Amino acid sequence: MSAAWALFRRDVLLSVRIGGGFGLGIGFFVLVAVLLPLGVGRDLVLLERLAPGLIWLGAALAALLSLDHLFQADLEDGALDQFFLSQTPIEALLLAKVAAHWATTGLPLVFAAPVLALLLNLEAGNWPALMASLAVGTPALSLIGGAAAALTAGLRRGGMLLSLLTLPLYVPTLIFGAAAAAGGIAAPELLLLGGVSLVALVVAPVAAALALRLYVS
């Protein structure tokens, strides 16, 4: 599995140093929470009600922003072909790439969330639930988005198609995520969210591998 680990490290380093993943996701995330009151008004009660859903929406969009070039570079310089020739199963390598994506977009959001919650008047008692929901659900965003990115890899203007493909697929994650964030740490939605992530964990790498095969041979 060292090839997968090496790939994970490479992607994380690339993302942090060259950008496009790390800063972009967090920046967008924070922007959403800052712009909302400007759009909707100062009503603190309203903001508190909107907070879980909005934070989750921000997480989904932040994930989407950086999915575009998940496979772009590897496709262009031929690294993708090497993945298929490697001894490590392609699904493991793809999982490493998705994990790197999550580490640089989803995971930071978990820790950035309390800041947003503060801005949106979400009381501190709710923060564990919020962070737990993001921790459990953002992997699903990266996995599902990764599969969609594999399908649109190498397409011109693939970004638009990517958004169209991911929108319906993100619905369960968004619904359960926002409900878990609002419902408290023992909410059943958290378990359902975990279920969605697990299903994504199994299905997404397989679908992505199938899709990427198209661009190799």
Partner 1 sequence: MFGYANPERFWRLSSLLMPWVWGATAILFAIGLYAALVASPDDYQQGATVRIMYVHVPAMWMSLGAYAFIAVASFVSLIWRHVLADVAAKAAAPIGATFTALGLLTGSIWGKPMWGAWWAWDARLTSVLVLFFLYLGYMAMWAAIEDRTRAARAAAILALVGAINLPIIRFSVEWWNTLHQGASVLRAGGSALHASFLYPLLIMGLAYLFLFGALLLVRIRTEILSQRVLADQRRRAANEQLTSPIESEA
190 binds partner 1 (CB under 8 A): no
List C-alpha distances in Å: 171 to 175, 187, 212, 213: 6, 18, 24, 27
Q: Which of 25, 172, 194, 205 binds partner 1 (CB under 8 A)?
A: 172
Under rule CB under 8 A, residue 161 binds partner 1: yes
Q: Would you count residue 192 as binding partner 1 (CB under 8 A)? A: yes
Shortest gap between Cβ of 156 and partner 1 (angstroms)?
9
**In angstroms, what is the minimal distance from the CB of 181 to partner 1?**
13
Q: Which stretch, 73-81, 85-93, 127-135, 188-196, contacts partner 1 (CB under 8 A)?
A: 188-196
> In this complex, which beta carbon is closest to partner 1, that of residue 28 or of residue 176?
176
Q: Is 152 in the site for partner 1 (CB under 8 A)?
A: yes
165 scored as a contact of partner 1 (CB under 8 A): yes
Q: Which residue in the set 137, 176, 190, 197 belongs to the binding site for partner 1 (CB under 8 A)?
A: 176
Task: Note whether 64 binds partner 1 by CB under 8 A.
Answer: no
- Burial of 49-80, coded b for 16+ CB within 10 Å and e otherwise, reads ebbbbbbbbbbbbbbbbbbbbbbeebbeeeeb
End-to-end CA distance of the chain: 24
Q: Which is nearer to partner 1, 25 or 145 (CB)?
A: 145
Residue 191 touches partner 1, criterion: CB under 8 A: no
On whether the CB atoms of residues 212 and 155 are closer than 8 A, the answer is no
Neighbours of 140 (CB within 10 A): 30
Task: Pull the structure tokens for residue 99.
Answer: 């994990």
Measured from the Cβ of residue 180, the count of other Cβ atoms closer than 10 Å reads 28
Task: Give the chain's length.
Answer: 217
Q: What is the amino acid identity at position 183?
A: G
The first and second tokens of residue 95, run together, are 């999982």
Minimum CB distance to partner 1, residue 80 (Å) = 15
Which residues contact partner 1 (rule: CB under 8 A)?
147, 151-152, 155, 158, 161, 164-165, 167-169, 171-172, 175-176, 179, 189, 192, 196, 199, 203, 207, 210-211, 214
